[in-house]
Each structure stands twice: as structure tokens, then as C-alpha cells.
């Protein structure tokens, strides 16, 4: 499975022309919005009965109960290998340390000017819903990435939805991660129906205030449709993406494997190589072909690369980053010896990994920052999942008598200008007598 070759050497167009010339992500909304709307409507109307029908249809099992007993979650810790337990603990502690630092660095100071004081109050949401994908793979790491920042934010109740396996259960690694993270409730429900259940509630599942976590195009579209009913992080956390920028000094085998790291998640993702060396492009493509043939996840790799695998030839680093910033990838790897000096050219990416020794896989598991990242070009305006996604910011205002005397007339003037007499009168009635 070779990468599709795109040659932009000598391209003279401006940024808009370059953007229009690049392959665009498929319009997920057009492809899945109708099907997702039907699922959401079905769950809203029939609750648990709809979840049973949809779980049987999509996951081919019919759980007697959706909620996983707490004893089963705790028992998973004893069943997993010690090495996995240690890895979960290390990852959990590093993610916790990073997000706690992130939380402490937030702006929480008070403001005072001219007799008006404003306090900045940060309050957590009451109940957060986390989604971890299943099916093709298991993702205990995603459980940690979603739950830990919610805990740091102070969320009182954290719930997790995961698609059940063929036997109707959730695998031990995922449940063990839920135990490590201290998740309160786990449900064996997946897909758009899980998003609908968390948004609107069913007989088994209480509705949440915020939904986070990555998923396939149907999960992402469901989150888009329920946004506004619940909070949804601004990032479109859909199928996985990577852009690898390679120069003449890039180890080509490392570039190839890093393309496949994200491609092995399955269909609808993307894997882009951008280089100003035709020899590097050819060598990377040769490695990709060999690695795909040897991989136990060959079908998933081929499905991704068939629609989203590209090898882009450019004139040099400047053009490489111009393209990368338009693509705005979930993961951006700069696999050159001078990666640090090129970082200033990055304006849009979910996460950046600098140099041949910094694989995105480390970020996927335990670097600390979240691996729930913006996809589908939403890194133009969105960021990784953060503590702030589980918090509300409230300002509390106190007005002194002196301030009202000085500033009150201005409020009256503005209110009367806008034709709002009650606004003006509310100030007049408070003027010092």
C-alpha cells in the first residue's frame, strides 16, 4: 500500500490557492449526520430499550445490565499483568501531575478598579461523561486521559461509556484503568447511542454536563449534534491523524513507522509525509509498503492509507510548514535534526513532537499532556482536552457606593440610548441619597 504522491515543488500560488489544492478531509457531517440523528432520536424516545436494540445491532451483544458493577471494575486490577498495572499507575501519575500544573496556572486573581471589584470563580461541572473507543482496539490510555483532568477540575461524578466486546463485557485493561482513575460509573454502551444516552439520559444512565473523548465519525457527529444540550470540547476528536515532516537527515524507517502509528487506528484517518527530499519520500514509501504487509493490523492500515495516505514533495521547510498549518493535524512530528529551530513556524497542530527521538507514541500514553486532540482541521481553533473543559468560569461583581455615584450616570446614559428604561432606573434607585 503506497502513499499517494503530491508534488508541490514550484507551486506559486498563495495560501488560499495552496489550501484549495490540498486534499480535504471527507465531510463527516454529510456522511453520517442523518444516521446519527436517527440514533439520537431513538435513544431519546426509548431509553434503555433503544440502547439494547442498537447495541445488538452494532456490537452484536445484548447486555442484561449496562452498568458494570464496581466489584468487577476493582477485580480487573487483580486480573491484569503486574507490568500493565505499573504502566497504568505511571501514566496516571504523569497525566495527573501535568493537569494539576495546568490547573494551578489558570488565572484566578481578583480585579479591582474604581470601586468595582470582580472575583473570578472557577466551578467544576457536576457530572462528566467520558467515551473510550472499543471494537478494533482497547484504549485504557484514553480512560486515563479523559478522567484525570476531570478529577483535577473537581468534578463530583465521572462516568465512562465503552462499547462491549463480543462476549458482552469490557476488557480488563479498560476496567483496570477505570479503577486506577477512580471513575464512578462504567457502562457497556458504545457509538452514537452512548453519546445520546449521556446527553439525554435513559433509565440506566443519568445525563451528564460535559462529554469528552475520541471516537469514530459517528461518535464525533453525535457529539456535534448534542453540543448545546451538554458541553462538548471544541475539538472535533475524530479519526486519528499525523503529519510527519522529514528532511534529508530524517531516518526514513522512523518516519514510516510513525505514519503507521496513527494509521493503524483504522479507517477515515490520515497519514501525511511532507518532505523536500525525493529520495526520502521514496525510501519512506518503500518502508511503508513492507511494514503494512508485515503488520497484524494490515486491514486497518490499508483502509486508512487508501483514502488518507499522502507523500507530499515541497521546495523546502517553509512550504512544508505552510501545508502542515493548513492541514492542522492532530499530531505533527518534525523528524529533523534542527526541529527546535523550526517550531516557530507551527501555527496549527494538536500536539507537536520534536526530533527523531520524540515519537508521538510517548504523547499517546504518558508524556503528561492530553492525547484527546483536535482532528479534522479543528486545530485551527481548538486545543487538547484540558482541565478547563470541565470547569465553568463565573465572575462575581461588587459595586461600592462611591463607584455607583461616579459611574452610575454613564450606565443611565447607555441604558437610555438603548431604549432600556428599567436598566437606567435600577441604577437611579441605588444612587446615594
Three-state SS at 7: strand
Give the residue extent of every domain in the chain: 4-27+239-380, 47-234+387-391, 404-433
- The reply to whether 185 belongs to the active site is no
Q: Which of 241, 331, 333, 371 is catalytic?
A: 331
pLDDT per residue, tens digit, the chain (433 aa), is 578 999 999 998 888 889 889 987 765 445 678 888 899 999 999 999 999 999 999 999 988 899 999 999 999 999 999 989 998 898 889 888 878 887 776 655 688 888 888 888 889 999 999 999 986 678 899 999 999 999 999 999 999 999 999 889 999 999 999 999 999 999 999 999 999 999 999 999 999 999 999 988 889 889 989 999 999 976 666 778 999 999 999 999 999 999 998 888 777 788 999 999 999 999 999 999 999 999 998 988 988 898 899 999 999 999 999 999 999 999 999 999 999 999 999 999 999 999 999 999 999 998 999 999 998 888 999 999 999 999 998 889 999 999 999 899 999 999 999 999 999 999 999 986 5
| Structure letter (DSSP) for residue 160 | E
- Predicted TM-score (pTM) of the model is 0.85
Q: Are 4-27+239-380 and 47-234+387-391 in the same CATH fold?
A: yes
Q: What is the CATH superfamily name and number for domain 4-27+239-380?
A: Nitrogenase molybdenum iron protein domain (3.40.50.1980)
Asked: is 47-234+387-391 a CATH 3.40.50.1980 domain? The reply is yes
- The reply to whether 330 belongs to the active site is yes
- 3-state SS of 294-362 is HCCCHHHHHHHHHHHEEEEECCCHHHHHHHHHHHCCCEEEECCCCHHHHHHHCCCCCEEEECCCCCHHH
Q: Which of 287, 330, 333, 371 is catalytic?
A: 330
Amino acid at each position: 500500500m503506497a502513499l499517494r504522491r503530491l508534488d508541490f515543488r514550484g507551486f506559486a500560488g498563495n495560501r488560499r490557492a495552496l489550501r484549495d489544492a490540498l486534499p480535504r478531509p471527507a465531510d463527516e457531517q454529510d456522511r453520517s449526520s442523518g444516521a446519527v440523528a436517527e440514533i439520537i432520536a431513538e435513544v431519546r424516545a426509548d431509553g434503555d430499550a433503544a440502547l439494547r436494540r442498537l447495541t445488538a445491532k452494532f456490537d452484536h451483544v445484548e447486555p442484561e445490565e449496562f452498568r458494570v458493577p464496581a466489584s468487577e471494575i476493582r477485580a480487573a486490577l487483580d486480573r491484569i499483568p503486574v507490568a500493565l498495572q505499573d504502566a497504568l499507575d505511571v501514566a496516571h501519575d504523569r497525566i495527573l501531575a501535568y493537569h494539576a500544573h495546568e490547573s494551578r496556572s489558570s488565572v484566578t486573581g481578583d480585579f479591582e478598579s474604581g470601586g468595582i471589584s470582580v472575583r473570578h470563580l472557577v466551578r467544576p461541572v457536576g457530572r462528566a461523561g467520558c467515551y473510550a473507543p472499543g471494537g478494533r482496539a482497547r484504549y485504557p490510555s484514553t480512560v486515563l486521559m479523559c478522567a484525570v483532568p476531570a478529577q483535577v477540575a473537581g468534578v463530583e461524578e465521572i462516568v465512562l461509556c465503552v462499547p462491549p466486546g463480543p462476549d458482552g463485557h469490557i476488557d480488563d485493561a479498560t476496567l483496570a484503568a477505570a479503577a486506577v482513575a477512580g471513575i464512578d460509573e462504567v457502562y457497556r454502551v458504545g457509538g452514537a447511542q452512548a453519546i445520546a444516552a449521556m446527553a439525554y439520559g435513559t433509565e440506566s444512565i443519568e445525563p451528564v454536563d460535559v462529554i469528552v473523548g475520541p471516537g469514530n465519525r459517528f461518535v464525533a457527529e453525535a457529539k456535534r449534534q448534542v453540543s448545546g444540550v451538554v458541553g462538548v470540547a471544541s475539538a472535533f476528536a475524530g479519526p486519528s491523524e499525523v503529519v510527519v515532516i522529514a528532511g534529508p537527515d530524517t531516518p526514513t524507517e522512523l518516519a514510516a513507522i510513525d505514519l503507521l502509528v496513527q494509521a493503524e487506528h483504522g479507517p477515515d484517518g490520515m497519514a501525511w509525509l511532507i518532505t523536500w527530499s525525493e529520495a526520502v519520500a521514496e525510501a519512506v514509501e518503500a518502508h511503508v509498503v513492507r511494514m503494512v504487509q508485515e503488520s497484524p493490523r494490515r486491514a486497518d492500515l490499508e483502509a486508512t492509507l487508501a483514502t488518507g495516505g499522502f507523500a507530499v514533495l515541497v521546495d523546502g521547510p517553509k512550504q512544508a510548514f505552510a501545508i502542515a498549518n493548513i492541514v492542522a493535524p492532530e499530531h505533527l512530528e518534525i523528524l529533523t535534526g534542527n526541529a527546535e529551530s523550526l517550531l516557530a513556524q507551527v501555527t496549527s497542530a494538536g500536539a507537536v513532537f520534536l526530533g527523531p527521538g520524540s515519537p508521538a507514541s510517548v504523547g499517546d500514553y504518558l508524556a503528561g499532556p492530553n492525547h484527546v486532540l483536535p482532528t479534522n482541521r479543528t486545530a485551527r481553533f481548538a486545543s487538547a482536552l484540558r482541565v478547563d473543559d470541565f470547569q465553568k468560569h463565573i465572575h462575581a461583581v461588587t459595586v461600592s457606593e462611591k463607584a455607583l455615584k461616579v459611574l452610575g450616570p454613564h450606565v443611565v446614559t447607555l441604558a437610555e440610548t438603548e431604549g432600556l428604561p428599567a436598566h437606567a432606573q435600577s441604577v437611579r434607585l441605588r444612587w446615594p441619597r
